[in-house]
Chain A
Amino acid sequence: MMNKLKHRLLASSGFAASLIAIFAGLFVGFIILLITNPDQAVDGFVTILKGGFTGGAKGIGNIFYLATPIIMTGLSVGFAFKTGLFNIGASGQLIVGGYVAVLIGVLAPGLGSFHWVIALIGGMAAGALWAFIPGLLKALFNVHEVISSIMMNYIGMFMVNALVAETVFDSLRAQSLPVAQSAQMPTLGMDTLFKGSSVNAGIFVAILFVIVLYIILNKTTFGYELKACGFNKDASRYAGINAKRNIILSMTIAGAMAGVAGGLIYLAGSGKFIEIVDVLAMEGFTGISVALLASSNPIGVLFTGIFVSYITNGGFYMQLYDFVPEIIDIIISIIIYFSALALIVRHFFDRYALKSGLGDDDIPAPKVEPKRKRRIGLKNKEVDKDE
C-alpha cells in the first residue's frame, strides 16, 4: 500500500514541481533574510525550517489549528478550479458562513451536543448561497465569476459587519459575542495532548471534507462531468453534459467549503471573534495559494495546507530575531511563483517534444495491460505532431 502511494506521488510530475518550488522559495527567502539582517539570517532561517515545531507540543497543535481553515478554503478554490472556475470569493463566503455559524452558536443554546454541528451546517449553507449567486450569474448571463465573486466579497464583509452590530454585538469590544459552550468545537482531548494550543476537532472536519471531495472528483459521474467541463467546455456540451448546471453546482460546493472554513474559525473557542473592521478575511486568499500549490488536488490541499500553516507558525517566532513575520508571506508568494513557473517550464518542454515531428505510429499494436511506467519528467512522454 505504502509502495503504491509512493509510486503515485512520484508519477505525478506536479508533486515534483511543487517540491522544487518549495525549495526555491525557501532559498530566495533565505537571501532576503541575508539582505535585511545578515547577522541573524541563519538563526532566522533555521526558525522557519523548524516552523511549527519551535513551540514544541503547543506548536504542533497550532500547526493543525491554523491549517484547518486554509485547508477548507484551499478545497474551495481547488474544487472550482477543477471545473475551470476561479473562485476568488472564498473570503466573502467564509465570513458569511462564519457569521451564520456564530449567530446559531450564540442564539440557539438549546440544541445540546449537536449545537456545533448545526452551527457548522448553517455556516456551510450560508457560504454555499454566497457562491451560488456568482455561479448563477455565470451560468445564466455569462458574468465572469472573478468579477462577481470579488464583489460578493465586499458585499459579504460589509453586510456581516452591519448584521453583527445588529444581532450578536459585544459593544465593549466592537466584535461578535462569544458562542455558547455547546457550540464550540469539541477538542477530543487534543487540548491536553498539545497543551497550550488551540487545536480542536476542526482538523478532522477538514480531513473529512478532503476525502469527500476526493471521492466526488475521482469516483463519481458528477466529478467526471465537472472535470470534463473544466478541461473542455465545448466537448462537454457535445457529449450532452449540462454545463450550466455544473457551473452552479461547482460554485455552490466551493462556497460551502469556504463557509465551513468560516464556521471552524469562529466556533474554535480560541478567542477569535468577528471584528467589525473593513478587511477581507485573509484565509480566502491563502486558499488560492494552497490550491495552486496542490494543483487543486484535494489530497494535495491537505498537505500544502499543513505546510503553509507550518511555515506561517515559524514566521511568528521570527520576531525573536528582529524579523517581521511578513517574511513568511514573501516566501509563500515566491513558492507560488516558482510553482507557476515550474508549470510553464513543463509546458514548454511538452511543446518542444510535440514539435519533434513524430506520431505514435511506430508504437507496436496496443498492449492491453501495459506495465506501470514511472513517468518522471519528460523521459517517457509521448511525442506527437498533430498539435
Chain B
Amino acid sequence: MDYVIEMLNITKKFPGILANDNVSLQLKNGEIHALLGENGAGKSTLMSVLFGLYKPEEGVIKKNGKTIKIANPNDSNKYGIGMVHQHFKLVHNFTVLENIILGVESTKNGVLKMGEAKKRVVELSEKYHLSVNPDDLISDITVGQQQRVEILKMLYRDNEILIFDEPTAMLTPQEIIELMKIMRGLTKEGKSILFITHKLDEIKLVADRCTILRKGKYIDTIDVQSTTKEVMSELMVGRKVQLQVDKEPASPTDVVLNVKNLTVKTKRSKKNKLTNVSFEAKSGEIVCIAGIDGNGQKELVYALTGLSDVTQGTITLHGEDITKDTIRKRRVAGMSHIPEDRHKHGLILDYSLAYNLVLQRYFSKAFQKLGFLKHRSINTYSNELIEKFDIRSGQGRKTLVRSMSGGNQQKAILAREIDTDPEILVAVQPTRGLDVGAIEYIHKQLIRQRDEGKAILLISLELDEVLSVSDRVLVIYEGEIVADLDPTSTTEQELGLYMSGAKREAVS
C-alpha cells in the first residue's frame, strides 16, 4: 500500500502518565484522515511527535515506506510535513505576505525579494481558491482568512502532508463549509491531510478514514462512509453517548426576564451594537439567541449581566427594574452567568477550586462572618459540589484551577452558577471547546434546570445545539433580533438565512 506517512507503535511517556501507548496511524496518499478523540486522548501528543516537538520513547515513523527521524520542526518541514495549529502562529502587525515568507525569505545580497514571493503566493492562492490579499495586515482580516494564511504558509513551503489541529474551533458555520471545500481541493492536488477533531459531523462531511484514540490508546481505524456517528462516538468515549438531546416539550409559565427596546452604543463606533432589542424569557423554557459571532451577542450579554452600560431601554427581572443595578445586585436578585470566556471571566485560574466555587457567594452569611472567611464551610461546600457535579481534578478542592482540563473547568463554572439557585441562567456558549461527553453532560444539566422551573437564556453559535436544546430561537443579526422561531418547525437552512441577514421577519 502507498502510505505516505506511517507512525507505528508510538509510545510517549510523561512523568506519571502514558500519553501515547503503542499508537499507530497510517496516512494514505491523497486522503483526508481524521484523528478523533476526546480532550486528553493523546491526539495532540501524537501530532507533536510527528511534528518533531516531542521525541517518542518507542516506535518508528516512516515516509513512503522508509524510516525517518524527526528531531525538530525543521526536520518535519524537510519531509514536507506542515501544521496549522489551533491557535494560529501569525505576526499580527505583518502583512499576509510577510507572514507567509517568514523563516523562508528569499533574498538577494541581503535584500528581500518580495516581488517573486508575492507572485508565488498569488499563484498558490488562486490554484487552491484561498482568496486572500497578500498585502492585507493580519490584524485586519477575519479568523477564517487568517487560517487560510496558515494553509498558504504550508503550501508555500511545498508541504505535502498537512496537519490541521482542530481547525474549525474558531470558525463560523459558513467558514467551516468553506474550509471543508478547501481541504477537498487540496487532496485533489495530491496533498494528504491529517485532521484532528472531536466533531463527528465534520468527519462525516470531509474525511475518508478515521483513527480513534481513547486515553492514550489506539482504538480503531475505520472507514468513515460505512460507519455511523453513533458508532464513532461510542468508540471515542468508550460508552454509548446520546447524540440527540432528550427532552420533554417546555411548559413555560411566568415571565422572568423582560428586555425592552435595549440599545447599546459604544464610544468607538457610530453604529449601534444593539438596536431596540426586546424579548422575554419565561420560567421553564430555554430561549436561545442564535447568530453568527460578532452580531451583538457579546454586547447583549454584557448589558444583561451588568458588565457594560445600557444606552437605552430597560431590563426587568421578575418585574424589578435592574437596568442600572450593579453586577453584584443582579446576581443577588437571581441572575447567573456562564461566561463565554472561562479563562478571562469565568475563573480565577490561580485560585484553588474551592475558592473558585465560592466566587459568587463568598460574601454571603454562609461563608463569612464579620469579614472573616469561614474556611470550614467553604471546604465542605466545595466538596459537596465536587461530588455532585463530578468535577475531576488532581487534588480535589485544593487543586489550582489552572491545572484542570477545560471540561472540568467548565463543570466547575456550571456547578457554581447553577447551585446559586438562579431565577435566570445566562449561558454563553457553554459547550465551546468541549468534547462529546462533556457537551452531553452540560446539555442535560441545562434541561434539568429548565425542568426545575428556571428561565435559561442560551447564546450559541452551534446550529445543532440551537435546534436541539432550545425551546424558542431568537436570531440576532447586526444587533437586532430578526426572527422568533420554533426550533421544532425550523431547519438549519432557514436559520442560516436569518443569521446571514438574507431574511427577516417582523418581531414585536
Contacts and interface: CB of A to CB of B under 8 A. Distances in A.
B19 A358 contact: yes
A370 B307 CA distance: 37
Nearest to B215: A362
A369 B396 contact: yes
A357 B40 CA distance: 6
Interface in A340-384: 353, 355-370, 373, 378-384
B348 interface: yes
B115 interface: no
B244 interface: no
Interface stretch (A162-170, A182-190, A218-226): A218-226
A221 B368 contact: yes
B111 interface: no
A220 B363 CA distance: 10
A356 B19 contact: yes
B393 A382 contact: yes
A219 B368 CA distance: 10
Nearest to B408: A360
Interface string B85-121: 0000000000000000000000000000000000000
Contacts of B14: 353, 356, 358, 383
B15 to A, nearest CB: 6
B398 A370 contact: yes
B19 A361 contact: no
A235 B407 contact: no
- Point out which of A238, A240, A357 has the most chain B C-beta atoms below 10 A from its C-beta: A357
A254 B350 CA distance: 22
A365 B390 contact: yes
Given A231-B349, A382-B404, A383-B14, A357 B396 contact: no
A238 B346 contact: yes
Contact of B17 (A366, A369, A383): A383
B438 to A, nearest CB: 9
A44 B211 CA distance: 67
A363 B348 contact: no
A361 B40 contact: yes
Contact of B393 (A227, A238, A357, A363): A363
Contacts of B372: 219-221
A364 B392 CA distance: 7
A386 B433 contact: yes
B329 to A, nearest CB: 8
A192 interface: no
Interface in B403-426: 403-409
B183 to A, nearest CB: 23
Interface stretch (B42-50, B61-69, B467-475): B42-50
Contacts of B319: none
A367 B390 CA distance: 10
Given A221-B363, A239-B360, A359 B40 contact: yes
Contacts of A224: 355, 362, 373
B44 A385 contact: yes
Interface string A202-235: 0000000000000000011110100110011011
B40 A358 contact: yes
A8 interface: no
Contacts of B407: 359, 361
B337 A360 contact: no
A40 interface: no
Given A235-B346, A363-B393, A366-B393, A228 B351 contact: yes
A358 B344 CA distance: 22
A360 B42 CA distance: 11
Contacts of B349: 231-232
Given A224-B362, A235-B345, A240-B327, A219 B373 contact: yes
B348 A366 contact: no
Contacts of A232: 344, 347-350
B188 to A, nearest CB: 31
A382 B404 CA distance: 7
B136 to A, nearest CB: 29
A374 B70 CA distance: 37
B327 A361 contact: no
Interface in B218-249: none
Nearest to B399: A382
Overall SS of chain A's interface: loop
Contact of B392 (A241, A365, A383): A365
A224 B356 CA distance: 11
A361 B399 contact: no
B392 A363 contact: yes
B348 A240 contact: no
A234 B339 CA distance: 11
A373 to B, nearest CB: 7
B386 A368 contact: yes
A380 B16 contact: yes
Nearest to A381: B403
Contact of A355 (B48, B331, B355, B363): B48
Contacts of A366: 386-387, 390-393, 396
Contact of B39 (A219, A240, A359): A359
Contacts of B45: 356-358
A237 B339 CA distance: 12
A236 interface: yes
Interface in A235-255: 235-241
B403 A357 contact: no
Contacts of B433: 386
B395 interface: yes
A219 B367 CA distance: 11
B237 to A, nearest CB: 10
- Point out which of B331, B351, B360 has the most chain A C-beta atoms below 10 A from its C-beta: B351
- Point out which of A222, A239, A380 has the most chain B C-beta atoms below 10 A from its C-beta: A239
Contacts of B360: 239-240
Contacts of B19: 356-358
A353 B348 CA distance: 20
B373 A362 contact: no
Interface string B360-389: 101100001001110100000001001100
B43 A357 contact: yes
Contact of B395 (A239, A353, A373): A373
B478 interface: no
B393 A359 contact: no
Contacts of A236: 348
A232 B347 CA distance: 8
Nearest to B17: A358
B364 to A, nearest CB: 10
Contacts of B266: none
A74 to B, nearest CB: 21
Contacts of A384: 402-406
Interface string B250-276: 000000000000000000000000000
Contacts of A219: 372-373, 375
A187 B82 CA distance: 73
A227 B348 CA distance: 10
A353 B394 CA distance: 14
30 contacts: A219-B373, A220-B372, A222-B371, A232-B347, A237-B307, A238-B307, A353-B14, A356-B54, A357-B40, A358-B17, A358-B19, A358-B45, A360-B393, A360-B403, A360-B404, A361-B38, A361-B41, A361-B392, A365-B390, A366-B391, A366-B392, A368-B386, A368-B387, A373-B395, A379-B15, A384-B402, A384-B405, A384-B406, A386-B405, A386-B406
Given A222-B371, A237-B327, A239-B359, 4 more contacts: A241-B328, A356-B45, A366-B386, A380-B394
Interface of B: 14-17, 19, 38-46, 48, 53-54, 215-216, 305, 307, 326-329, 331, 337, 339, 344-351, 355, 359-360, 362-363, 368, 371-373, 375, 383, 386-387, 390-396, 398-400, 402-409, 433
